[in-house]
Amino acid sequence: MNATASALSQLQQLKQLTTVVADTGDFERMQEYQPQDATTNPSLILKAAQQANYQNLVNQVKAAHPGMKPVDLIDYILVAFGLEILKIVPGRVSTEVDARLSFDTQATIHKAKHLISLYESHGIDRQRILIKLAGTWEGIQAAKALEAQGIHCNMTLLFSLVQAAACGAVNAKLISPFVGRITDWYKAKLGSNWSDTANGGADDPGVSSVKRIFHYYKHFGIATEIMGASFRSTSQVLELAGCDLLTISPELLGELQMSTDIVQQKLNASSAVSTTSTFTDENISPLKLDESSFRLQLNNDAMATEKLAEGIRNFCIDTEKLEALLSQ
């Protein structure tokens, strides 16, 4: 299309190119945007659980499990929100394992199986659930074991190509590279040298990171789905039109629904396989992905190391806040 406006909203146009996912625990707000899937995390569930319109749901879970410790009750809260979300979306919901288990493979596997069992006890097929795991070495090894047992994983807190490559190597179902948080890091690093013109649009560092992962995956025929996440603006979303999936907050979904500007496809799986670009060429080599190589490559990426650690810390804090809320 060469026109500057379309009869369709940007959200409708985007849905023709990419699977749109709602990034929220506020399931009442997502209905008007009709996403295919939905994602949650400890911060989003904490935010929703504090809203007056969800107090009945929280109280029902607490009443059904009298005397249960908050650390155990959280699983039932997560699943309760997930069950409500699944009444709205036709596809999948992502539910996150306790971030405090990010460096414990066996505990992560145990928790993931427990969450799946709770969903299945309500008649939900496990194919409609994605278990969210941190993109640590231990989380990736947990995904390897879980995927082998038919429990699909959404690898989150993902900031680097080596994390993405390792997730693909263990056949994780889906990865969630964090666009906005990558951009935040570079914006803070550059300070007054940051320019929205020079460092935005197609050159946005968060956008570029996802493009690099997209080209690597398509070049090597990796089946793991790529879902761009953590967006700060509709510009970042639209620069990734054509990505397998994009998970978007209700605020940005609303902006996309209000605009009729033309959406252009920026990523194409078939051309990524063969097209020479900044990110892939005839000589592209697969990354070394044994444990020591993975840890060294991640360590040598200051942004990814810092944002991964920060993300885990913040999810741990919000999980503890949710526990405190449930203990009241």
Residues involved in catalysis: 132
Distance CA 255, CA 52 (A): 25
3-state secondary structure of 71: helix
Contact 35, 246 (CB under 8 A): no
Least Cα distance to 81 among 71, 91, 93 occurs for 93
- 225 pairs with which residues across the strands? 174
How many CB atoms neighbour CB 52 within 10 A?
6
Pinpoint the alpha helices (H) of the chain: 10-17, 27-30, 42-49, 55-64, 70-86, 105-121, 137-148, 161-169, 179-190, 205-219, 234-238, 250-258, 269-274, 291-299, 302-327
Token match 């803070």: residue?
188
